[in-house]
Amino acid sequence: MTPNLHLWLIPILPLAGAAINGLFGKRFSRQTVAAVALAFCGAAFAMALWIAAQFSSLSLPHVEVLATWLRSNGFSVDYSFAIDQLSLVMLLIVSGVGFLIHIYSVGYMWEEGGYYRFFSYLNLFMFFMLTLVLASNYLLMFVGWEGVGLASYLLIGFFFLRDSAAAAGKKAFIVNRIGDFGFLIALFLMIKHFGTLDFQRVFDAVKPFSPETAGVGFLTAIALLLMLGAAGKSAQIPLYVWLPDAMEGPTPVSALIHAATMVTAGVYMVARSHVIFERAPSALMVVAIIGTLTAFFAATIGIAQTDIKKVLAYSTISQLGYMFLACGVAAFSVGIFHLMTHAFFKGLLFLAAGSVIHAVGGEQDMRKMGGLRKHIPWTFWTMTIATFAIAGIPPFAGFFSKDEILWRAYQASWIYWLVGVVTAFLTSFYMFRLWFMTFFGEYRGAAEASHGHDEHAAHGTHSGPGSRAEAPFHSAQGGSAPHGHGGIHESPAIMLAPLVILAVLSVVGGWVGWPGSLGGNNRFDQFLGPVFRVSTPAVNSEHAQAGESLPPEKETEGAEPKTGQRTELIFTGISVGAGLLGLFLAWLLYLRRPELPDQLAASLHGLYSAVAHKYWIDELYAWLFVKPLIALSGTVLWRGIDQGVIDATLNGSADGARELSDEVRHMQSGNVRSYAAWVAVGATAVIAYMVWVGLRTP
Amino acid sequence: MAALQTMQGVPQAGDYIRILPEIVLSIFGMIVMLLDPVLDERRSQRTLGGIALLGAIAALAATLYQAQPRFWGFGFFDTVKLDAFSVFFHFVVIAVTILVILSSYEYMEVQQIRAGEYYGLVLFGTVGMALMSSAVELVLIFIALEISSISTYILAGFRRRSAISSESSVKYFLLGSFATAFFLYGVALMFGATGSTSIARISAALADYAGTGHGPMLAYLGVALMFVGLGFKVAAAPFHIWTPDVYEGAPSPVVGFMSTAPKAAVFAVLLRIIFEAHFSETVWLIWLAAALSMTIGNVAALVQDNIKRLLAYSSIAHAGYLLIAFASLPANGIPAAMFFTASYAAMNVGAFAVIGHFAGHGERYVMLEDYAGLGKRSPVLAAILTVFLLSLIGIPITGGFFAKFYVFSAALQGAHPLMGLVIIGVINSAVAAYYYLRVIVVMYMREPREDAPVAPISAGLGLALGLSLAATLFLGIYPNPVLKYAALSVGLLH
């Protein structure tokens, strides 16, 4: 007898919170708003923990059907949720990290207007994200998929009355629509070929197929289209451009949506669809190549950014690239492992960066920071842990997952590995650059931290009267100094607590994947094994030429031969070395010889300029797509056909018809005669076509 | 004509039940017209609006009554046919009428338009639209089309003091008559080719041609001409050109009306002609019209600053999405098209109700910049409009999502999937997000403009908005019942 876990409650709880705050929040005090948001989000997390506690007694995958959604023509979709090892991991990450970021936001957003709206949107996001993770069919997953995009749009664009924020929100939404286009078409193809969108049934239908090694079959097409969707949501080449702009949103949003959860949805979706991808080797290769390129490309841009959040944004894109690289070499569980550790350390990096921004009064430019470690020790130490974690220094969490990815990548092709290691070096370099520029040296900002956050200033119109009356969380500086108005100050406890928890996770979070080569037994891999083990396709044979005999997915690391372990240790050494080299170089350039970077930039002028301008990709896209479309719309279709061309070309022919009524002749816009001529032209075309059809028909 | 030969007796009692909604609507329409001159001018609006509303509700009840399968069948010498298909469209058309009357109530007062014949015309127009969906004889279809069209021509010019409204009416009338002439000529050619105007007989006659070795050229010409006429009515490219001007000038509730109800009815006719008469040769014609409508509609909408023009282009684009279903296999295409009409009706009537309310006296505020800060000045109105816009974009859990989802999915079934058309469609819906979002951005992210006041929402409008909002969300969250009912029609038409 399988227990009824009421999985549907998990997403519904935050939705209830969103509804309460959205409908009545205006009349609530800030405390009430925060309490509602935290209670409902926390309840979802508690349920996730409760499910984890009895997880071993479930028969997996555990599916719960709530209701029939639609049923027609033999095709049916249900409102149904499912939990297995993969979705449990995602569920715990999303609800856990989400809850921590909710707590942090209570303090961070305290002085902002629209407090209730913010928490309403944040809870709404949780609803969609949890739906995405728990859905047991592609259609419900797509609802979550679109929903998180919408919530993200609300949180980027709706929060600040800034043109750049509105534009960023819109850009994120539309770029994501391009990705969704791929996802949708993939769904249609699934309906066509399998007659279902249910995960289990789709995968069962796919299993009998052997990998499409020769040519592009429909499985490859589906996989590639899914990857297009994933590239949009997870900010991969060529659709990564929206994520850096999305940093316009409040920092907790960047942490939750644009680092820890939503942007990893693409990785989750690819891993979830592994049965399809495994049968489409060329699609898998595309995934690996996109991942590798994105990881490297974004890391190079990260080097020259001066905005602390932009550095982290490019770093997120780069790290997501690692996850796709892992998926692309069919090491899905490793991709999810990195997804998890990344959620910890990148969430932490953003929250700590928020704390830094908070401390220096809204400044985001690292060139105006420096020497902050003495002023904000908690932030400094937690951020230090996160920096070491992302740089891949043992024994921090990022080391284990990144090392595992590089090792598995090497087994597929040494090129993936090489680019991966160089990226690891770059990652370490730009992260320590950030670390040194922010916390070491002399403070380079104005003597007094400027008054109020930029965000606050821009957002002033939202705050109603009396919204700044209370500031109970700002006692760290002696209570009397309202934040943003004093000097550099540490954040309140409610913001620091999540930092500390995430810091602990950033240290120990990777230990569950302690590899066999270092004397562990990679329990994480074993835990996810059943999800990814179900099929053992012949994908690996393609990589056999790399000279290594790849252990099939179902074998654990411990089963590897000793020689493999020794090689793995050497590779571990190399990737740690790359991290340390980055640390050293950052130290040299940004602490020891701070005049060097400028000289370097000057001597490498062309290259530096390309990197600093993000390779002009935004400009390229504008030139390639946006401008032609606007020109077509504005010049050709609107001023041209609507107003000009027809009038000009057809008026002559219609001159004879002048004796129409007064009313017609005095029309202000749009000419009836030319419109009629337009209809006549269309009619001629239609008639000609049908006559042609008639002549052709025997 | 074929129908005449069978005209031997008098109509049976059951025949009247088969056109019960039309009868009810006509009676109430006449009551409104008769009372109009008698009533005090200042009070007439409320009373007549109330009577019209009552009439529409009674017609809806009549539709539900005739929905019992025991009444289904042919009537009036095989000129009308009551079945699940016609009941579905009766319901959609009459429901739209109710919403439009509800939202006109306040609009006519604000615009200070004497409204007597307005409600009468709305009801008479609905008679034509309802009849179109149940008529299975081309001459009757033509008459129904004219009843519906003439009402909408007049309704489009109802803001008599506005030059742009009269202009819109005249334009619509001239071009509309032009297009109707095409349709009528098509009917004549069809009669010449097959010796009948009954769709069933035409279908049988065309089947006979199949073996004879020479193609029914006249029939092809006839279909081409009918397609031109109907294509004009649904604003499909390349016959869409009138739409922006007419929508811009016509009163907003009327635009809400004529962009949904008559279109639904004409699409019903098109479904009957294409699927019941087995005109599969039109596939490429429809393919092209769909691709053109979607692309022209969406791309041209990108730069519109007048919200009514913007939604006019959007409705051209939506006609394009819908046409995709007509190129699909009947088993999937018919229910997809029916579902699409219903959900488009819900969201578009709602959107125009908001626009009509916000436009103020003389429809002064219809530019995008007038919507600046609406989210702050009238949060409820802005939120409701946002839902309709999201549905028009096609975001899940709204009716608009499933409408597109079914249409695209239908097009990919069968041996010859319309992959190219679906790709054009999905890319178009990505582009379209831009201009709908533009409205949302202006409403929420621009500083409020004090000089465009927002009146409080009246009860009638509130009800209309609530109903269309509920319908839009219902079709997104629980589409199953509607889809099931639509699927009943597959066997009937094919």
Query: What confidence tens digit (pLDDT) does each residue in B243-298 have?
Result: 888 898 899 999 999 999 999 999 999 988 888 776 667 788 889 899 999 998 98
Q: How far, in Å, CA of B454 to CA of B450, rounded?
A: 9
More confident residue, A127 or A545: A127
CA distance B102 to chain A (A): 26
- Select from A113, A67, A121, A90 the least CA-distant residue to A10: A90
Paired tokens of A630: 């606007």
Which residues in B lie closer than 8 A to residue A622 (C-beta atoms)?
none
- Select from B100, B80, B304 the least CA-distant residue to B108: B100
Residues with Cβ within 8 Å of A418's Cβ and at least 6 positions away in sequence, in order, are none
Paired tokens of B132: 């179109």
Q: Is the dihedral of CA A110, A112, A113, A119 positive or negative?
A: negative
Q: How confident is the model at residue B415 (pLDDT cuts 50, 70, 90)?
A: low
Give pLDDT, residue A475.
38
A661 in contact with B, Cβ within 8 Å: yes
CA distance A315 to chain B (A): 28
A208 in contact with B, Cβ within 8 Å: no
Q: Do A690 and B447 touch (CB under 8 A)?
A: no
SS3 content of chain A, % helix, strand, coil (to 5): 70, 5, 25
Residue of B nearest to A76 (CA): B480
CA A673 to chain centroid: 53
Residue B342 has pLDDT above 90, yes or no: yes
SS3 of A503-551: HHHHHHCCHHHCCHHHCCCCHHHHHHHHHHHCCCCCHHHHHHHHCCCCC
Residue B71 has pLDDT above 90, yes or no: no
Residue A463 has pLDDT above 60, yes or no: no
26-85 in chain B: CB under 8 A from chain A: none
Q: Which of A645, A690, A696 is the best mutation test for B, with the most CBs of B within 10 A? A: A690
Q: Is the dihedral of CA B210, B216, B221, B222 positive or negative?
A: negative
Helix-helix angle B199-209:B163-194, to 10 degrees = 50
Q: Which of A180, A679, A694 sits opposite B179 (nearest CB)?
A: A679
Residues with Cβ within 8 Å of A119's Cβ and at least 6 positions away in sequence, in order, are A17, A21, A25, A33, A34, A36, A37, A102, A105, A109
Paired tokens of B158: 């109802």
B293 and B240 in contact (C-beta within 8 Å)?
A: yes
B225 in contact with A, Cβ within 8 Å: yes
Q: Pairing between strand A75-83 and A62-72?
A: antiparallel
A189 in contact with B, Cβ within 8 Å: yes
Residue A293 has pLDDT above 80, yes or no: yes
pTM of the predicted structure, to 2 decimals: 0.85
Where are the alpha helices (H) located in A279-413, listed in sequence order? 281-303, 308-328, 332-359, 377-390, 397-412
Counting every residue written for chain A, the total comes to 698
CA distance A189 to chain B (A): 7
CA distance B482 to chain A (A): 10
Residue A416 has pLDDT above 80, yes or no: yes
Q: How far, in Å, CA of A255 to CA of A97, rounded?
A: 9
Residue B113 has pLDDT above 50, yes or no: yes
Which residues in B lie closer than 8 A to residue A24 (C-beta atoms)?
none
CA distance A303 to chain B (A): 33
Q: How confident is the model at residue B468 (pLDDT cuts 50, 70, 90)?
A: very high
A281 in contact with B, Cβ within 8 Å: no
Q: Identify whether A377 is preceded by a cis peptide bond (ω within 30 of 0).
A: no
A663 in contact with B, Cβ within 8 Å: yes
26-55 in chain A: CB under 8 A from chain B: none
Burial class (CB in 10 A: 0-12, 13-18, 19+), B369: exposed
Q: Which of A242, A461, A633 is the best mutation test for B, with the most CBs of B within 10 A? A: A633
Which residues in A lie closer than 8 A to residue B447 (C-beta atoms)?
161, 461
Per the listing, tokens 């953003």 go with A350
Q: Which of A632, A681, A698 sits opposite B213 (nearest CB)?
A: A698
Q: Which of A146, A194, A671, A686 is the best mutation test for B, with the most CBs of B within 10 A? A: A686
Q: Which of B426, B431, B449, B482 is the best mutation test for A, with the most CBs of A within 10 A? A: B426
Instruction: Name the average pLDDT for chain A.
Output: 78
Q: Which of B173, B180, B220, B270 is the best mutation test for A, with the most CBs of A within 10 A? A: B220
Residue B80 has pLDDT above 50, yes or no: yes
Give pLDDT, residue B354.
92
Residue type, position B461, single letter: L
Q: Do B300 and A637 touch (CB under 8 A)?
A: yes
Tens-digit pLDDT profile for residues A499-532: 888 888 888 888 887 877 777 777 788 788 777 7
Which residues in A lie closer than 8 A to residue B445 (C-beta atoms)?
157-158, 161, 163, 165-166
Taking CA atoms, B57 is separated from B119, B122, B466, B467, B472, in Å, by: 14, 13, 17, 14, 20
B192 and B218 in contact (C-beta within 8 Å)?
A: yes
Torsion of Cα atoms, A397 then A402 then A405 then A407, to 10°: -100
Residue B128 has pLDDT above 90, yes or no: yes
88-117 in chain B: CB under 8 A from chain A: none
DSSP A21: H
Give pLDDT, residue A559.
43
Return the percentage of chain A with pLDDT > 70, whole number: 82
Give pLDDT, residue A159.
61
Residue B79 has pLDDT above 80, yes or no: yes
CA distance B5 to chain A (A): 30
Q: Is A4 helix (H, G, I), strand (E, B) or coil?
A: coil
B303 in contact with A, Cβ within 8 Å: yes
Q: Which of A12, A23, A70 is the best mutation test for B, with the most CBs of B within 10 A? A: A70
Give pLDDT, residue A670.
54
Residue type, position A343, single letter: A
Q: How far, in Å, CA of A695 to CA of A146, rounded?
A: 48
Residue of A nearest to B246 (CA): A670
Beta bridge partners, A79, equal A67
Q: Do A181 and B426 touch (CB under 8 A)?
A: yes
Q: Identify whether B448 is preceded by a cis peptide bond (ω within 30 of 0).
A: no
Residue type, position A473, single letter: F
> Which range (A91-100, A406-415, A657-666) has the least confidence?
A657-666
Q: Is A216 helix (H, G, I), strand (E, B) or coil?
A: coil
Q: Do A174 and B437 touch (CB under 8 A)?
A: yes
Q: How far, in Å, CA of A205 to CA of A194, rounded?
A: 6
Q: Do B304 and A672 touch (CB under 8 A)?
A: no
Q: Do A192 and B413 touch (CB under 8 A)?
A: yes
CA geometry: angle A617, A621, A624, nearest 5 deg: 135
Q: How confident is the model at residue A239 (pLDDT cuts 50, 70, 90)?
A: confident
Give pLDDT, residue A356.
87
Q: Is A137 helix (H, G, I), strand (E, B) or coil?
A: strand
A71 in contact with B, Cβ within 8 Å: yes
Tens-digit pLDDT profile for residues B193-208: 888 888 888 888 887 7
A672 in contact with B, Cβ within 8 Å: yes
> Which range (A276-290, A399-413, A516-530, B397-411) has the least confidence?
A516-530
More confident residue, B89 or A565: B89
Q: Which of B215, B245, B417 sits opposite A698 (nearest CB)?
A: B215
Q: How far, in Å, CA of B276 to CA of A216, rounded?
A: 38
Paired tokens of B436: 């709908």
> Which range (A67-71, A539-543, B117-121, B200-204) has the least confidence?
A539-543
Give pLDDT, residue A44.
92
Q: How far, in Å, CA of A492 to CA of A483, rounded?
A: 10
How does DSSP assign B413-458, residue by residue?
-SSS--HHHHHHHHHHHHHHHHHHHHHHHHHHHSPPPTTS--PPPP
Beta bridge partners, A417, equal none
The secondary element (H helix, E strand) that includes residue A77 is: strand A75-83
Tens-digit pLDDT profile for residues A174-213: 888 888 888 988 998 888 888 888 888 888 888 888 777 7
Residues with Cβ within 8 Å of B339's Cβ and at least 6 positions away in sequence, in order, are B402, B403, B406, B475, B479, B482, B483, B486
Give pLDDT, residue B214.
54
Residue A342 has pLDDT above 60, yes or no: yes
560-599 in chain A: CB under 8 A from chain B: none
Residue B328 has pLDDT above 80, yes or no: yes
Residue A545 has pLDDT above 70, yes or no: no
- Select from A489, A574, A510 the least CA-distant residue to A339: A510
Residue of B nearest to A23 (CA): B380
- Select from B32, B27, B493, B43 the least CA-distant residue to B268: B493
The secondary element (H helix, E strand) that includes residue A66 is: strand A62-72
Paired tokens of B62: 């009549």
Residue B143 has pLDDT above 70, yes or no: yes
Residues with Cβ within 8 Å of A367's Cβ and at least 6 positions away in sequence, in order, are A306, A437, A444
Residue of A nearest to B422 (CA): A185
CA geometry: angle B463, B469, B473, nearest 5 deg: 145
DSSP B9: S
Q: Is the dihedral of CA A446, A449, A454, A458 positive or negative?
A: negative
A240 and A212 in contact (C-beta within 8 Å)?
A: no
Q: How far, in Å, CA of B393 to CA of B434, rounded?
A: 9
Q: Identify whether A238 is preceded by a cis peptide bond (ω within 30 of 0).
A: yes
Q: Do A73 and B487 touch (CB under 8 A)?
A: yes
Q: How far, in Å, CA of B297 to CA of B294, rounded?
A: 5
Q: Do A174 and B447 touch (CB under 8 A)?
A: no
Give pLDDT, residue A634.
65
The secondary element (H helix, E strand) that includes residue A64 is: strand A62-72
Q: Is the dihedral of CA A511, A513, A516, A518 positive or negative?
A: negative
Q: Is A135 helix (H, G, I), strand (E, B) or coil?
A: strand
Give pLDDT, residue A638.
58
Q: Is B297 helix (H, G, I), strand (E, B) or coil?
A: helix
Tens-digit pLDDT profile for residues B84-99: 999 999 999 999 999 9
Residues with Cβ within 8 Å of B161's Cβ and at least 6 positions away in sequence, in order, are B362
Residue B4 has pLDDT above 80, yes or no: no
Which residues in B lie closer than 8 A to residue A683 (C-beta atoms)?
182, 224-225, 228, 239
Burial class (CB in 10 A: 0-12, 13-18, 19+), A567: middle
Residue A555 has pLDDT above 60, yes or no: no
Q: Do B221 and A675 touch (CB under 8 A)?
A: no
Residues with Cβ within 8 Å of A50's Cβ and at least 6 positions away in sequence, in order, are none
Q: Is A71 helix (H, G, I), strand (E, B) or coil?
A: strand
Per the listing, tokens 């406890």 go with A493
Q: Do B484 and A143 touch (CB under 8 A)?
A: no
B210 in contact with A, Cβ within 8 Å: no
First-to-last alpha carbon distance for chain A, in angstroms, is 66
Paired tokens of A299: 């890391």
CA distance B95 to chain A (A): 23
Where are the alpha helices (H) located in B283-329, listed in sequence order? 283-301, 307-326
B166 in contact with A, Cβ within 8 Å: yes
The ipTM value here is 0.83
Paired tokens of A259: 């680092």
Residue A558 has pLDDT above 50, yes or no: no
Tens-digit pLDDT profile for residues B9-32: 667 777 888 889 999 999 999 999
CA distance B424 to chain A (A): 10
More confident residue, B112 or A558: B112
Q: Which of A68, A189, A681 sits opposite B480 (nearest CB)?
A: A68
Q: Pairing between strand B80-82 and A75-83?
A: unpaired
Q: Identify whether A211 is preceded by a cis peptide bond (ω within 30 of 0).
A: no
**A261: Cα within 13 Å, side-chain hemisphere:** 35
Q: How far, in Å, CA of A629 to CA of A613, rounded?
A: 24
Q: How confident is the model at residue A540 (pLDDT cuts 50, 70, 90)?
A: very low
